[in-house]
Amino acid sequence: MVIMLVDRVSDPVSWVKFTQENIARSRGEREISEKLRMDIEICLRQCANDMVSQFQFINNALKARIQENTDVKHRLEMHLQKVGCCCCCCCYYYQSIDRSVDLYSTFI
């Protein structure tokens, strides 16, 4: 390994210049780092807000669907009472709707 020696003498002026350049570069890198941290924080907050918003949207849609199924169940019950159910297929259909409404209700 060959080491080249520079014909320069270390003097206080060159050290002051080197130190000032080093400090300036350090400040610039810290500013860039701070901006990057702020950008990351903004991105994380936006993602969290989007996730909460999507959760609420899906939850509301699921509640509406459960309400629709419950309404249909009640209408079918009313209709079966009026008609007077005598066949097993209607009862089976009614029981499957009842199970699906109960299943959806457990998620909320």
User: How many structural domains comprise the chain?
Assistant: 1
**Are the C-beta atoms of 104 and 62 separated by less than 8 Å?**
yes
**Pick from 106, 93, 96: nearest CA to 62:** 106
Mean pLDDT per 10-residue segment, the chain (108 residues) = 55 88 96 97 98 97 95 90 67 65 61
pTM exceeds cut of 0.85: no
Residue 42 forms part of a structural domain: yes
Confidence at residue 1, expressed as pLDDT on a 0 to 100 scale: 47
Residue 5 forms part of a structural domain: no
The domain in which residue 39 lies consists of 13-107
**Are the C-beta atoms of 73 and 103 separated by less than 8 Å?**
no
Q: Tally Cβ neighbours within 10 Å of residue 45.
A: 10
Residue 3 forms part of a structural domain: no
